[in-house]
Amino acid sequence: MMADYCLTFGLLLIVFAIPAGVSAYSEMRPPRMAAVTIVLGACLVILAVTLSPTGYSYGDIPQAVARVMARFLP
């Protein structure tokens, strides 16, 4: 289950960093925080893949995210 948490939060960080990077680029600022956030998200995804005993395929990702969301939502 820890691997599912790492995967979900890593993907969430990456998704939130993309608009921040585009915004910084459009305002002619260096996208430092967006780059750091993407690196942290990628590290969490890599950690999730290494923690999972069977790894993740593309079909497993929605199921892992749904499991994590089911734990947080009543």
Please answer whether residues 73 and 10 qualify as being in contact, where contact means their C-beta atoms are separated by less than 8 angstroms: no
pLDDT, greater one: 65 or 74? 65
Confidence of residue 60 (pLDDT cuts 50, 70, 90): very high
pLDDT of 18 reads: 95
pLDDT, tens digit (0-9, with 9 covering 90-100), for 2-48: 999 999 999 999 999 999 999 999 999 999 999 999 999 999 999 99
Per-residue pLDDT at 74 exceeds 90: no
Please answer whether residues 8 and 68 qualify as being in contact, where contact means their C-beta atoms are separated by less than 8 angstroms: yes
Average pLDDT over residues 50-62: 91
